[in-house]
Chains A and B, each alone.
Chain A
């Protein structure tokens, strides 16, 4: 339940964020700004996966597939008509003449990702645990293979490049806020308690009248929406997208963030996303000066294992830090 104190903190943090963005755009160099952008996108990804994996306990490794769908949809919709003719000459005519601004494109991308989640979820969410994990890996690979081979729509392995560089902090931050807000609202509502109940003990939840199926699908769909939007933001940050941009390795990275933060903890995912994204950059100067490449990854893995040994349930377990909620959540 959100007390007034929580609401106030949230509002204050949001405003502070905007002020900081204003300052950052003015003072810091582009490299740092792009890192902050990526941090933001990873926060959206971790927080949205937290809804699916953390709250509901669905071991889904398919998040990058939703990113890919979102990314490609956004890219195709925002590409200027001339470039579309050059890159994708075989596009159906209604699509070829279309060019949308960023925001509607992102929304449509998120919706497409959600629809896919719905389609895939209906058969697949009957599975549990590791079986679900394998099914989602399968889903991811199928999406990758389809994207690689449907050249008329996606240009195959070459991917799409020269995408308009829309993404910047002004776009990323509101979506971060949206993801956090939605997560928080869900977690501290009756619906959220339903999700957590499903995770803890499905049979007991069912005995209490929870419709297992609908609950799980909804959590997958919501997570997929934000993943799709994140994919669109990603594509327009790098200005290029290929079938391999969103791979199984990325799925592992996001799952790591959720688990290390504490499955089910929003602040945990938030913090873990920031820490891991920054750590990869922090080790870079070390690698470059020592000229031993690969040592950064090793350190990262070591840090990961250390954290898990000392806090096997993640930073915050499935709770939020007390000062944010005003009471024991």
Chain B
């Protein structure tokens, strides 16, 4: 019995030694790509890592940075906060000079404070909460716009272009992202003189929306459009079920609807009269966008799955641009360089950090879906 116990302990010690980060000393500039590649968030995050690695590859092909190659170390944090925290710690102990990633605030909050503490920048590709820089600190940067901007964009569109006066708001109550989106949308609608007739709720993972649809049908006064604050998993399902029930009112949303599912799940006939605000890249003809799509297809054999692929690409681009301007990978200098980013031509629009809140000033695309076809209706820019 003792022998077996000792044997087990021995194996354990070996295991601990394996846990030491593999010391492969090629001289590269390491960026930590923290993403949830398995678990519930994987459909959103995995394309982000693909985009990030693509950008690193393109930069290396063009000669690298400061004479060295750029390396994005992909770390899977399994849609688990603990893994996010340990992943961040591991990345920092490996010598990553900056971190990037995530499409959701929850995981940013587990990982970014660790980078802040060690004075290294963290650039989130897809977490859009406008309070992030304030919560984490001056080393926190967002490659994407804030939820307030995208909600305001689609709210403006609902009232000014679609002419809605009475709206219904459906909110996914289980994610902070969707709740923030709804909050800002309602705020703007009321500012513009609209009225919120009906508020309904659901949770991530819900598959059946018949109750909400029935309430929508019976709403009085009649609703002009319905704002659905959801993530891609529910985007296709809600559109499909609403249209199948015979309701033809416009459906609007934020970047949670920026997914193929919004057209493939309902099918081309039912995917009609849907409008959403999102990161500017789909159907865009700017050279950065076309180049990105071409390279992504060449590298991965399929077009980018969602906007997060482009955002991951941009996050690395932002960091690389800052490294070039700062001339060093030193934390505080990098932060200063990032802060002064102006007019950086990202795939998802031009990025400038001019606001005190730290949220970038970026254009928001409003995209329509008519009979299964995506079209950019307008590009909304924030007032300041």
Contact = CB atoms under 8 A, between A and B. Distances in A.
B84 to A, nearest CB: 8
Given A31-B86, A161-B109, A293 B38 contact: yes
B74 interface: yes
A63 B37 CA distance: 27
B5 A285 contact: no
Contacts, number: 111
Contacts of B37: 293-294
A282 B176 contact: no
Contact of A288 (B5, B75, B81, B105): B75
Given A158-B176, A162-B135, A34 B38 contact: no
B215 interface: no
B97 interface: no
A194 to B, nearest CB: 27
A168 interface: no
B22 interface: yes
B135 A35 contact: no
Interface residues on A, range: 35 or more
A282 B15 contact: yes
Nearest to B89: A31
A242 B106 contact: yes
- Chain B contact patch, size range: 35 or more
Nearest to A160: B109
A32 interface: yes
A323 B5 contact: yes
B175 A157 contact: yes
Contact of A281 (B5, B19, B106, B109): B19
Given A288-B75, A293-B37, A240 B19 contact: no
B90 interface: yes
A34 B173 contact: no
B211 interface: no
Interface in A21-53: 29-32, 34-35, 38
Contacts of B179: 156-158
Interface in A279-321: 279-282, 284-285, 287-289, 291, 293-294, 296-297, 315, 321
Given A238-B85, A278-B19, A31 B106 contact: no
Nearest to B16: A278
11 contacts: A32-B16, A35-B19, A38-B86, A156-B173, A156-B176, A158-B105, A238-B85, A239-B85, A239-B110, A293-B37, A297-B38
